[in-house]
């Protein structure tokens, strides 16, 4: 009994690609890209001027947002300032309690 011949012939991938021919690409070619319509110099200048001017709606929106942000900032500052006064009082009370407790322990220890 002989062994089966399970060898496979070597196929050169470059030769196979040439044999199949050029592949069909799905997207635009380089030639299409180079031949695309382009704006004239005057159109480019107009576009740049329009970008420099900006949109009025955007400017109005930014102003409204700045105003609302300033109002929120003022409110938070007021809260922090009013809160800081009470927090200093609380700290002083805590310090007094600690001093009293330390004095009590000192008298008990001696």
Place of tokens 């089966």: 4
Torsion angle (degrees, nearest 10) of CA 6, 7, 10, 16: -20
Residue 105 has a pLDDT of: 64
Domains of the chain, by residue range, sit at 57-95
Rounded to two decimals, the pTM is 0.29
Per-residue pLDDT tens digits for 11-61: 899 999 888 888 777 888 889 999 999 999 999 999 998 888 777 788 888
Q: Which of 32-36, 67-71, 78-82 has the lowest mean pLDDT?
A: 78-82
């Amino acid at each position: 009994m002989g062994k089966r011949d399970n060898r496979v012939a070597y196929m050169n991938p470059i030769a196979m690609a040439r044999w199949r021919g050029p592949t069909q690409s799905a997207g635009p070619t380089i030639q299409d890209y180079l031949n695309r319509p382009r704006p004239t110099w005057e159109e480019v200048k107009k576009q740049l001027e329009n970008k420099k001017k900006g949109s009025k709606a955007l400017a109005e929106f930014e102003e409204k947002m700045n105003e609302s942000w300033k109002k929120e900032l003022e409110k938070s500052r007021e809260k922090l300032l009013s809160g800081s006064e009470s927090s200093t009082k609380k700290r002083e009370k805590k310090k007094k309690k600690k001093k009293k407790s330390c004095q009590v322990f000192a008298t008990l220890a001696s």
